[in-house]
Chains A and B, each alone.
Chain A
Amino acid sequence: MAANIALTAASVTVANATVRQGIAGEVISAGEFVYLKASDGKLWKAQADGTAEEAVVVGMAMNTVAAANQQITYTPTGTVTAQALVFTSMGDVLYLGSTAGRGSELGQEGVPGNDARFTILGYTTGTASFVLNILNTGVVMPSA
């Protein structure tokens, strides 16, 4: 299974963002990818190997909430800068990982695991930056 990338919350900044607000359903850190849960209308950490709903990414958290029910900002677009050397190369596709809230590099780590849902998050523009350009494909990777 491909490793997932943890963006260091304190290092995350976003240029050209479309800032949106929501209510967190759980503790969420800046740099984590989120989905909107229909049953409560709150933002939760997205992941590729859960339900179809959990793989529909609406954006990336731009700040950190210490508890559920706090107001959080997120963006579906923008140029994200994170900690140094978090990515291995530029031009790599980022997709939603199997660890809640995290992404993976396609070129580095290969395709998503069996039965995971393929959600594209964007592409790297350097070893510390990427363009957030979400595409919820709905594609489920075939079983082995």
Chain B
Amino acid sequence: MSTGKLLTGNAAAAWAARLADVDYIPAFPITPQTEIVELLAQWSASGEMPARFVSMDSEHSMLTAAGAAAAAGARVFTATSSQGLLYGFEVLYTIAGWRTPLVLVNVSRALASPITLEADHNDILSARDTGFLQIHAETCQEIVDSILMAYRLAEDQRVMLPVLVNLDGFTLSFTREPVILPTPAEVSEFLPLYQPRHAFIRGDRPMAQGAAVLGGVPYSYFRYQQHLAQENALTVHEEIAQEFAARFGRRYGLTESFMLDDAEQVLVMSNAFATKGKAAVQRWRAQGVKAGLLRLRVFRPFPARQIAAALAGRRAVAIIDQNLAPGLGGITYQEIASALYQENLRPPLMSVIGGLGGKDISEAEFDAVLLDLQRLAQGERVKSPRLLYTRVEQERMRTLLKIAGKEVRA
């Protein structure tokens, strides 16, 4: 029998690794991820998990050990966050190139400088071109489910790529929500033992892995293979999601549509703050506004066709990016705009930046976005990207600047 528990996002991630019966967990602490590896360390030490847990000397080493263990044929789990993900960055490309199917959880945290603790998505989105698949979770339940699905996806012969599962620091990592945990028996039926067929190290079958290539011909071939495997993952994900729904009753799409059927004004969001967007949509619906929300969930492979189908024909669409590419704007905005380019019924788009470093997106800010959306729908021009910042926040910042000895003009 499945059991319900109140779990933080971090505990949910740890439970998923435990249920996936992983063999190996190389670890390195970083806020706000640490609770995940602490739990796994306890369970491994006490024998509740048969996995081997090892404390590494950096995220660069941790990710190398993770990839190498997967290359040796083990089922591997690890987790990091923010600066840690960037410290190990080259290894992400390396692991994807090895075609090793491990799962890495990233607990999103904004990047230095200035150094800070709370979430935004510059960390995870920096990994968008590494070859890792990416699943972004909104709730603690979705963390468990996505990690279990991620192993199926990664280990599928048509995919054979590592997966990053993202959850937001603080807003999800330290928030307790009711979570239904499937039993180990139920999970082992859905996720059988990993039987490596391509990547392993065995005395009787020596193999060179990660060998160099000379010239663009073999290099392009192997890179294209990664892209084609990512494309396969769109189909494979749907198969897995269907089976998951049949077994566990929860259906996950590549994207999630919320009150989208007849929606005219649409928000596009991802991760935990999508919950705030959904609340705004419900509030607007109560006021008679035909609003809806599209949540990005599987971010790599990028489900361009599904996104285009969900957004084509809408009167106006605001893409709220909890990230910032300075000098460009929102990162997902660019990808969504390109997904829509071929559509005849292209909706007018606007880019919104909000929630950087965990900054709240208040009701008033959502309302300001709606106002812009309505103007956009009338054919008016609006400022894009719009950088959300309230008057109250500006006042608070002015006080801080004053204390720091910096006078600013009103």
Interaction A to B: no
- Chain B interface (Cβ < 8 Å from any Cβ of A): none
